[in-house]
Amino acid sequence: MTGAEDDRDVTQFESWAATYDSSPLQKRYFHPVQRVLLHHAASVAPDPAHVLDIGCGTGSLLRRARAAFPGSTLIGLDPAPSMLRAARARHSAAVRYVAGRVEQLPFPDAGFGLVLSTLSFHHWRDQRRGLAETGRVLRPGGTLVVADHFATGWLRPVFATAGKRDRMHTHREVDAMLRAVGLTPAGWRIAHTVTAFLHGSRHRACDRACGRACHRPFLPLVALCTATKPHGPATGAG
Ligand SMILES: C[S@@+](CC[C@H](N)C(=O)[O-])C[C@H]1O[C@@H](n2cnc3c(N)ncnc32)[C@H](O)[C@@H]1O
């Protein structure tokens, strides 16, 4: 893949930034995924000193994250300047936004207790390098939670047909990538379903987590992948 092809993903968000937050997809797709990810992240990493959102876009995950992590320093990173401008325009004093790519994170080693990412992983130019960088900035014992489309169940042949298998991986492939960069896979769960997307509601697992009832059948659409960085010598608060 060429650099120009890689940059298409970022360019696409440059042009979408102005209308991104008013898209009908926010309510049906982005917000439900963010809610489920935050609920899960708060249960597995209850009190991180520093939280990083990779591919933060216009910052909606981090604006919601304030309630889940009231004592944490929140930082969002994104390579698309227009997305970051939109994020900063909806200023929250509690959140800092930084320009950059996951493949070369502009942060020192072991600074974050929790790294999050919603619906960005399949846009990363070099996913393995991005995961390695994520591992570098996580403190030992820190947690990574990624929500994205993965090639699982009915999505596997869909992505294969659409020629997306180079970025849409199976759970097993992602677990192998995590291990290869020194992270420990810590489980998978469904974050959003086709049925919930179409009905504008959430999957029953999400509803259990969030305290609402939903009994419709579902097809997985977005999954949560959790990983941890093995404990090592203490290096600070994170
Ligand atoms: C679909 S948007 C999701 C934005 C946000 N996480 C949300 O849930 O609304 C994907 C984001 O990933 C960012 N992105 C693309 N390539 C990236 C990379 N290599 N490193 C970090 N972020 C990247 C894009 O600029 C875009 O803002």
Domains of the chain: 3-228 (3.40.50.150)
Give the chain's length: 238
Q: Is 14 exposed, middle or buried (0-12, 13-18, 19+ CB in 10 A)?
A: middle
155 band by pLDDT with thresholds 50, 70 and 90: confident
pTM above 0.75, yes or no: yes
Give the per-residue pLDDT at 105.
Answer: 98
Inter-residue contact 45 to 142 (CB < 8 Å): yes
Retrieve residue 77's tokens.
């990173």
Q: Are strands 73-78 and 138-148 parallel, antiparallel or unpaired?
A: unpaired
Q: Ligand 1 centre from 232 Cα, in Å?
A: 30
Q: What average pLDDT does the segment 16-28 reach?
A: 87
In the chain, pLDDT over 90 holds for what percent of residues?
Answer: 60
233 band by pLDDT with thresholds 50, 70 and 90: low
- pLDDT for 217 beyond 60: no
Half-sphere exposure of 204 (CA within 13 A, CB side): 7
Q: Of all protein residues, whose CA lies closest to atom 10 belonging to ligand 1? A: 120
Give the 3-state secondary structure of 4-69.
HHHHHHHHHHHHHHHHHCCCCHHHHHHHHHHHHHHHHHHHHCCCCCEEEEECCCCCHHHHHHHHHC
- pLDDT for 216 beyond 80: no
- pLDDT for 52 beyond 60: yes
- DSSP assignment of 181-205: TT-EEEEEEEEEEHHHHHHTS--HH
Q: What average pLDDT does the segment 188-217 reach?
A: 64
Retrieve residue 194's tokens.
């086709």
Q: Of all protein residues, whose CA lies closest to atom 13 belonging to ligand 1? A: 55
Looking up tokens 């939280």, which residue turns up? 51
Q: Which atom of ligand 1 is nearest to the CA of 126?
A: 19
User: How far, in Å, CA of 148 to CA of 135, rounded?
Assistant: 18
Of 113, 6, 100, the closest CA to residue 52 belongs to: 113
Inter-residue contact 93 to 67 (CB < 8 Å): no
Give the per-residue pLDDT at 164.
Answer: 63
Task: Name which residue leads in pLDDT, 197 or 2.
Answer: 197
32 band by pLDDT with thresholds 50, 70 and 90: very high
- pLDDT for 88 beyond 60: yes
214 band by pLDDT with thresholds 50, 70 and 90: very low
- Return the best residue to mutate from 1, 5, 6, 13 for the ligand 1 pocket (most ligand atoms within 8 A of CB): 13
Mean confidence (pLDDT) of the chain: 86
Looking up tokens 């009908």, which residue turns up? 24
The per-residue pLDDT for range 92-129, each reduced to its tens digit, is: 778 999 999 999 999 999 999 999 999 999 999 999 99
Which residues are near ligand 1 (CB < 6 Å)?
A: 9-10, 13, 30, 34, 54-57, 60-61, 78-80, 83, 101-103, 118-120, 123-125
Q: Of all protein residues, whose CA lies closest to atom 4 belonging to ligand 1? A: 57
